[in-house]
Amino acid sequence: MINSKNKLLLAGLCILFMLGVNAQENVVDKIVVRNNGEKIIDRIVAVVGNNYILQSDLETQYQQMLTAQEPVNENTRCKLMEELLYQKLLLAQAQKDSLDVSEGQIEQELDRRMKYYLQQFGSEEKFVAFYGKSVDDYKLELKDDVRDLLLEQQMQGKITDGISVTPSEVKEYFNAISVDSLPFINSELEVGQIMKKPVISPEAKKEAKSKIEGLRLRIEKGEATFAAMAGLYSMDPGSASKGGVYEGIQRGQFVPEWDAWAFKLKKGEISEVFETVYGFFIIQLIERRGEEVDARSLLISPVVDASDMYKAKLSLDTIYQRLLADTATFSDIAARYSDDDDSKNSGGLTVNPYTGSTRFQMDELGQYDQTIVFAVDNLKVGEFTKPMPATTNDGKQAYRILYLKTRTLPHKANLVDDYQSIQNAAMSKKQQEAIQNWIKKKSVDTYVHLADDFKNCTFNNKWIN
């Protein structure tokens, strides 16, 4: 891993190269980097604007392909190089256009990645044992790369923004595919749900509020720091492990009650106890920069007891009887009674986070929610389950009824059954054409240098003029 000082050295070498200081053609291609006293040989294999691509960047992606058992051949490294050139071209243009991402956005993406990594390892202890460094140290090393990635995504969004396809374009795209080339579509499902969350009892609310008021009083008296109390007692998974710290939070990013306090506190000041849909909070302002704040946050959520859960189930039992009596459609009842905001506005149908549609292939559904797979496996189209326990997106307990709206058999793609998928493919093609045109234009206006051993690659785009 190349540290910050070495990155500055590499950036300086890039600038010298572009100014024509090098006496030999490949003087910048071969460099020695010192990292914690250890010599590491690496080299710059491409420069795009003020940004460089290292041999190690390329080899890391190549090794990831091998680990994932993806097919590789003699042209794989060239394909990887072209993808990296495109990413750096996006970054160069983002820098020219003065695009920016907030610390909050970076932290959010880092937290998302770390959550995924920790799930793969099973625990933070196993992660630390494998990498030999703490989660915070690992996040710090990733920070610059994540910032660049978010800028690249923002720039690509600008290129493809506003692109759409008409029904006639979708039909034209489909008709251009030869019969032999039509994709084979695996079985797909559409699944709906009606969810009921337990209503928190007044006693549970009173107990939670009393607890957080006691913690606030201890902090005010100087018996403990806010960071210590947040680390020990906060029920907010996004900040508890960091002593309650949230950095770079922009107005509108959190619930309105949180914003209202965060943007009126003075530096170091602690809010009164306030209630949100998640429970009771206190926050302490660390720093404010216009419409962005760093703050410590402490959450105590009311504890749901068995009687609250039982009442939620009884409510769903009544809804289940209405479904059996067929007095209203599933979508109408979901829209009226479901507590799941993500699905109630789409007739109760769950949305596939990987495609944005309401259709799931079975493996996608398993990745999204394995309990749904088991629950609907034996359902016929139009049937629904009895009320069953569920876990909400924020990790709380609830009950839900699941409904199988459609299930398609494996088949070759057609416009009737697969219109949404074909529409997405047509859209993707149109966006890719826009990207190709953008690369053609910007690669002429941007400095691009390739190491000699990549100049014979067959690229889809002309990178060297």
Q: Where are the domains of the chain?
A: 187-199+305-409, 202-300
- Compute and round to an integer the Cα radius of gyration of the chain: 27
Q: Is residue 382 packed enough to be buried (19+ CB in 10 Å), middle (13-18) or exposed (0-12)?
A: exposed
Helix (H) or strand (E) holding 397: strand 397-407
Considering the segment(s) 202-300 as one domain, its CATH architecture is Roll (3.10)
- Torsion 168-170-175-176 (CA) sign: positive
Identify the pLDDT of residue 164. Answer: 94
Q: Residue 295: exposed, middle, or buried by beta-carbon count in 10 A (0-12, 13-18, 19+)?
A: buried
Instruction: Give, for all 465 residues of the chain, the pLDDT tens digit.
Output: 444 444 444 444 444 344 433 433 443 444 444 444 445 567 899 999 999 999 988 998 999 888 888 899 989 999 999 999 999 999 999 999 999 998 888 888 888 888 778 777 877 788 888 888 888 888 888 999 999 999 999 999 999 999 999 999 999 999 999 988 888 888 899 999 999 999 888 899 999 999 999 999 999 999 999 999 999 999 988 888 889 999 888 888 888 999 999 999 999 999 999 999 889 999 999 998 888 889 999 999 998 888 889 999 999 999 999 999 988 889 999 999 999 888 888 889 998 888 888 889 888 888 888 889 899 988 999 999 999 999 887 677 899 999 999 998 888 999 988 888 899 899 999 999 999 999 999 999 899 999 998 999 999 998 986
Which pLDDT does position 25 carry in this prediction?
A: 42
Q: Do domains 187-199+305-409 and 202-300 have the same CATH topology?
A: yes
Vertex 404: Cα angle to 401 and 406 (nearest 5): 160
pLDDT reported for residue 291: 80
- The full DSSP string for 430-465 is HHHHHHHHHHHHHHHHS-EEE-GGGTT---SS----
CATH code for the domain defined by 187-199+305-409: 3.10.50.40
Residue 268 has what pLDDT? Answer: 94
- CB-based contact 51:91 (threshold 8 Å): yes
Residues in the chain: 465
pLDDT score, position 430? 95
Question: Rounded to 5 degrees, what angle do the CA atoms 389, 390, 393 make?
Answer: 165
Angle between helices 103-121 and 135-160 (to 10 degrees): 120
- Element (DSSP H or E) covering residue 4: helix 4-18
